[in-house]
């Protein structure tokens, strides 16, 4: 479970769709009816077909991940969601029709995968082409259907389940693309799976949270970080699913509620990956990390610990927030200033996360018990009064800032409908979209909604600048960041991002272009401004200087 949670920041969410033509006409918009049928693939080629409307908030991530899977491993995988089978097909027949009639994987030598979800029947099917059956075996497909998707569907967290699926698909794809005895390696992987047989219908039932105590009584906090780490390993060995563990912080125990359906195999994988792995303890004040070295590979990303009044505990909130997982095997530490920044300064670089968040929009370790208690109270209130904007909005905000973005997104979407004029749901939806799925386009739409409603808040323009930079829209980034500094001239973040944007334009411009020298001068000018503000962030300025040196804009002599 911890491994899954650790990798959650990576990143992903996917779904496949199929339905009979007759049933399709009952739920597909008229404009789309001529583009879809079981017998013919839609004209618009993509990887996610969300006809059930259950993947609206995760499509961007899913498309990106599956595109990478195709480009890297020559495997075409699609996700299809449908409202209902309407008794026209079995889930197996529908998935097979999509595979064959849509010719999934034909351009990749027959290497295709279809994941089909039927919302009404709560059925799921993973269909694999003949060419991939030796890698994506029946045991593997059964494991995905039974153990990776079902628990998450039961608690209504489709996104989490699909992230887990993406990890497993990529793991198998790496085996297929690698060298050595693939058959023996796949056999060993299959032995870890306790479920058998691909293709069975899965009933995805309603999930109910277990009570979480205010004080973890089992597997207590440690007197040292190393003792807490060993306690976590014992919990994996005992396959403990009870969220009321003392070795987790209060908010960590709330996050752990969503992992209670985890399989025995996942615990075994955690033990295999970390149970006897050499490590060092990095410690600074009340913060510590179990450190495995600066090596690529998700299994080498550090685990974060915090010393509360109870002792040393696994800091799951900050783990999700600051330890960022990129495409396997990449991982890195978020750039923003946070309590673990200095401790992890020697770790690999960030994974693109550098949101301009105020202290009020982050979750501090101090006072975490009060925050957890507040969340539990709000969950009860929202359940009793689901149409009240205030509690719904506040619970969604707390989910967003406490590394529970997957839970925040649907709740904040509901808050938007309850009070269309409020800017707050848009702000925290943008934060959640980036934190949960790295969905910059989706976040951009939400932040634009926030700025329209709060046009004089420099935060909105800072955030838009960050998003445009992530989308490589440098001129757009410059425009909104200029607006940010016009509203707040003492804005280190905006000046640093302006310098970064001009540096990108400098690198993208040929040497014969007259604008190139201007871009360089503007980049250096904004670097100077970033370093002279009263809100100066020394780490940010230092990292920016290193970036400009790499781009040839700043030499070591004028640093």
* Domain 355-447 in the same topology as domain 2-191: no
Q: Where are the domains of the chain?
A: 2-191, 225-353, 355-447, 456-559
- pLDDT of 37 reads 67
Beta-strand ranges (E) seen in 248-358 are: 280-284, 287-291, 303-308, 311-314, 323-325, 331-333
Identify the CATH assignment for 355-447 out of 3.40.50.20, 1.25.40.10, 1.10.510.10, 3.10.20.600. 1.25.40.10
- 3-state secondary structure at position 461: helix
| Residues of the chain scoring pLDDT < 70 | 1-37, 88, 147-148, 150-160, 191-217, 261-263, 556-559
The first and second tokens of residue 324, run together, are: 């960022």
d(CA 304, CA 154): 29
H/E run at residue 123:
strand 123-128
pLDDT of residue 36: 56
pLDDT number for residue 213: 56
Instruction: List the structure tokens of 226.
Output: 């190393």
Q: What is the pLDDT of residue 229?
A: 98
pLDDT score for 241: 84
User: Could you tell me which residues come within 8 angstroms of residue 192 by beta carbon, excluding any fewer than 6 positions away?
Assistant: 265, 268, 269
Q: Is 30 exposed, middle or buried (0-12, 13-18, 19+ CB in 10 A)?
A: exposed
Cα 205 to Cα 439: distance, rounded to the nearest angstrom: 29
Class of the CATH domain delimited by 2-191: alpha beta
For residue 466, the model assigns a pLDDT of 97
Give φ, ψ of 281 to 5 degrees.
-100, 115
Express each pLDDT in 140-171 by its tens digit. 887 777 766 766 666 666 666 777 787 778 88
pLDDT at 178: 77
State how far the Cα of 85 lies from the Cα of 93, in Å rounded to an integer: 10
- Report pLDDT for 153: 64
Whether the bond between 329 and the residue before it is cis, its omega within 30 degrees of 0, is yes
Specify the fold of 456-559.
Answer: 1.25.40
List, in sequence order, the alpha helices (H) in 79-178.
91-101, 138-143, 150-154, 158-177
What confidence tens digit (pLDDT) does each residue in 266-292 have?
788 889 999 999 999 999 999 999 999
Which is nearest to 432 in space by CA: 450, 409, 411, 413? Answer: 409
Sequential DSSP letters for 178-228: S-S-HHHHHHHHHHT-----S----------PPP--SS--BSPPBSSHHHH
């Amino acid at each position: 479970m911890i491994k899954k949670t650790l990798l959650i920041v990576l990143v992903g969410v996917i779904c496949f769709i199929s339905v009979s033509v007759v049933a399709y006409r009952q739920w597909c918009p008229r404009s789309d009816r001529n583009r879809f049928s079981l017998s013919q693939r839609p004209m618009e080629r993509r990887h996610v077909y969300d006809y059930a409307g259950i993947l609206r908030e995760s499509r961007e991530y899913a498309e990106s991940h599956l595109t990478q899977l195709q480009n890297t491993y020559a495997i075409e995988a699609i996700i299809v969601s449908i409202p209902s089978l309407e008794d026209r097909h079995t889930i197996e027949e529908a998935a097979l029709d999509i595979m064959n009639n849509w010719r999934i994987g034909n351009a990749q030598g027959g290497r295709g995968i279809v994941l089909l979800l039927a919302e009404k029947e709560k059925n799921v099917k993973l269909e694999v082409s003949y060419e991939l059956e030796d890698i994506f075996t029946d045991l593997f497909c059964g494991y995905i259907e039974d153990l990776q998707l079902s628990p998450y569907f039961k608690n209504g967290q489709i996104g989490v389940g699909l992230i887990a699926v993406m990890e497993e698909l990529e793991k198998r794809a790496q085996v297929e693309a690698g060298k050595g005895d693939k058959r023996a390696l796949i056999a060993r992987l299959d032995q870890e799976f306790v479920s058998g047989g691909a293709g069975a219908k899965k009933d995805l039932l309603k999930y109910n949270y277990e009570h979480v105590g205010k004080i973890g009584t089992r597997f207590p906090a440690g007197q040292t970080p190393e003792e807490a780490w060993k306690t976590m390993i014992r919990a994996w060995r005992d396959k403990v699913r009870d969220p009321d563990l003392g070795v987790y912080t209060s908010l960590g125990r709330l996050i752990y509620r969503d992992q209670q359906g985890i399989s025995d195999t996942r615990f075994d994988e955690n033990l295999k990956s970390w149970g006897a792995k050499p490590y060092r303890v990095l410690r600074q004040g009340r913060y510590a990390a179990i450190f495995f070295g600066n090596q690529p590979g998700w299994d080498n990303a550090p685990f974060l610990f915090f010393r509360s009044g109870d002792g040393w505990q696994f800091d799951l909130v900050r783990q999700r927030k600051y330890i960022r997982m990129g495409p396997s095997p990449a991982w890195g530490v978020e750039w923003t200033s946070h309590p673990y920044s200095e401790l992890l300064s020697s770790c690999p670089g960030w994974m693109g996360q550098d949101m301009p968040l105020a202290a009020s929009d982050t979750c501090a370790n101090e006072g975490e018990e009060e925050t957890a208690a507040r969340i539990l109270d709000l969950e009860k209130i929202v359940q009793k009064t689901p149409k009240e904007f205030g509690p719904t909005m506040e619970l969604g905000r707390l989910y967003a800032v406490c590394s529970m973005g997957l839970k925040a997104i649907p709740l904040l979407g509901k808050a938007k409908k309850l009070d269309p004029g409020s800017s707050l749901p848009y702000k925290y939806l943008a934060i959640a979209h980036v934190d949960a799925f790295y969905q910059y386009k989706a976040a951009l739409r939400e932040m634009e909604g926030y700025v329209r409603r709060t046009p004089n808040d420099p935060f909105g323009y800072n955030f838009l600048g960050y998003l445009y930079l992530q989308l490589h829209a440098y001129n757009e980034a410059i425009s909104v960041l200029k607006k940010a500094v016009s509203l707040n001239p003492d804005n280190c973040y905006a000046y640093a991002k302006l310098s970064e944007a001009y540096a990108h334009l400098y690198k993208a411009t040929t040497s014969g272009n007259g604008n190139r020298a201007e871009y360089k001068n503007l980049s250096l000018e904004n670097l100077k401004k970033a370093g002279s503000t009263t809100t100066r962030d020394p780490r940010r300025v230092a990292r920016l200087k290193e970036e400009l040196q790499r781009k040839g804009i700043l030499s070591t002599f004028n640093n």
